[in-house]
Structure 1
Amino acid sequence: MSSTPKRPPDRDEDLTARARIRDAAVECFARHGFDVTVRAIAERAGVSPGLVLHHFGSKAGLRETCDEYVRQTIRETKTEAVTAHGEQTFLQQLAEIDEYSDLLGYVLRSLQAGGPMAVALFEHMVEDIEEYLAKGEEAGTIRPSRDPKARARWLAANGLGSITMLFTLQGLGPDTDFRELLRRATHDIMLPALEVYTEGLLTERTMLDAYLLYISDPPEEPR
């Protein structure tokens, strides 16, 4: 007597479960660091640990998926912001800033944890910045750079470094309210950052011209 064949899982339901696990993992990693267990992530997602492993193979595989998701979300948000000529896109993103708190917490945890995955995440984010700034140049909202790669790396280090410092001084723990910290950081950083990026800082070109002259014909090093 043959058994009744099992119905294959519904694809939409399967994808929904995968996304739910991914979102729960981003939140858990952001709040508790990368030592959090697969079981804890599964409980947060409302699924079994086995289903987590079914979709991602391992916790390392899940983290790789989270890395890519966080990068993609930040890249799309930044691209939209830097290519928009009107103010509505930026104001809408400010109004929805709480939605990005776990993403930022995830990036901070990764940078603090260090190691190859943190290095890879940072390098990929540098590539993303170069990409969306290039789109901003095409849209006429971003000034061209003499060295787009160097500019992207500086912006990544400067932006992530300043946020990391502010959050680290506050102390990151399992009860950290990333939404409140993000609101506070936005209040403290947004105005001076926009002033520097939009209006500039120096009133004359003396240092830039001197440096351009220096790198075009650097002095010989003493033997």
Structure 2
Amino acid sequence: MSAGRGGEFATASRIRDAAISRFAREGFGAGLRAIAADAGVAAGLIVHHFGSKDGLRRACDEQVLAVMREQKAKTLTDGTGTTLLAQLAEVEQYAPIVRYLLRSMQAGGELVATLIEHMIADAEEYLSTSESAGVIKPSRDPAARARYLAYQATGSMVLWFTLHGAGAAPDQFAALFRRYIDDLTLPALELFTEGLLVDRSMLDEYLMYVPDPPAAPGADTAAP
């Protein structure tokens, strides 16, 4: 990469990161001039690099997804808990990313629908990698499992912060995010590791009920 192109990339990244922080604090009504001031650039450079405010937001979405994908993949392929504990020790650094995601879900619209679909696709990919690594169990329907987990994670987060953080000042969000993680980590790990139901009778009854149940994970579906 030439020095000129490297400088262009660095400037675009600085604008994108400033936009994530500003959108996280104020919502998507934040103006381009404020974002430009945060990034230390002229407002015209935002249009130069991203074309429009929606283009900037798409770039922010892509960065948020990349960070989430990287951290989830690390946790779910390690298998020892070491990576999880390291992430828990530094959870506050992810507060701007999480607040941006919350703002997106609260805003609704086409952009967040696309963001969530990308989250689900990423989840299916890293869950598949974790299956191959022997860290998680296979699923009868990997795509449905990934979608359920994404809905569960985002829905619980929106509900928790609606109940506990609706009136919080921007500088309080990192502490609130720490509290959210502390509240949910143990029950989530317990549920995902040890399960909830004492036997499989409900699952078996459901599989008998549905017209065309998916095959059990690992079952040989080839014709005899």
Q: Does TM, scored on the shorter chain, surpass 0.5?
A: yes
Offset from partner CA, 1:203-223 (integer Å, 9 cap, x none): 1111111111111479xxxxx
Shift in alpha-carbon separation, 1:64–1:174, aligned structure 2, 3 A: farther
Where does residue 32 of structure 2 map in the other structure? 38
**Gaps (5+ residues) in structure 2?**
214-224
Alpha carbons 1:32, 1:174 under 8 Å: kept:
no
- The change in CA–CA distance for 1:145 and 1:191 in structure 2 (over 3 A counts) is same
Alignment of 1:144-183 (within 5 A): 144-169=138-163, 170-171=165-166, 175=170, 177-183=172-178
Q: Which amino acid is the alignment partner of residue 140 of structure 1?
A: G
Task: In structure 2, give the amino acid aligned to 1:131.
Answer: E
Residue 211 in structure 1 maps to residue 211 in structure 2: no
Superposed CA RMSD: 1.7
Contact 1:31-1:173 within 8 A present in 2 as well: no
Structure 1 residue matching 2:138: 3-state secondary structure: coil
Q: What is the one-letter code of the residue matched to 2:205?
A: A
Match of 2:7 in 1: 13
Unaligned 5+ segments in structure 1 are: 1-7, 219-223
After TM superposition, list the pairs within 5 Å mapping 1:1-223 onto structure 2.
Answer: 10-169=4-163, 170-171=165-166, 175=170, 177-216=172-211
Q: 1:66 to 1:107 in 2, by over 3 A?
A: same
CA-to-aligned-CA distance 1:88-144 (integer Å, 9 cap, x gap):
211111112111111111111111101111111111111111110000001000100
Runs of 4+ with deviation above 6 angstroms: none
| Shift, 1:12, TM fit | 2.3
Q: Structure 1 residue 86: deviation in Å?
A: 2.3
**What SS does the aligned partner of 2:122 have?**
helix
Alpha-carbon spacing, 1:33–1:174, altered in 2? closer, same or farther (3 Å): farther
Distance 1:193 1:82 in 2: 14
Comparing 11-20 with 159-168, greater Cα deviation is found at 11-20
TM-score scaled by length of structure 2: 0.89
Separation in 2, partners of 1:115, 1:161: 16
Cα distance change, pair 174–22 in 1 and its aligned pair in 2 (3 A):
farther
* 1:172 CA drift (Å): 5.3
Equivalent residue pairs, number: 211
In 1, the alpha carbon distance for the partners of 2:194 and 2:86 equals 23
User: 2:75–2:81: 8 Å Cα contact kept in structure 1?
Assistant: no
Percent of residue pairs identical = 50
**Structure 1 contact 31–176 (Cα < 8 Å) conserved:** no
CA distance in 2, matches of 1:172, 1:143: 40
Q: How far apart, CA to CA, are the structure 2 residues paired with 1:195 and 1:133?
A: 18
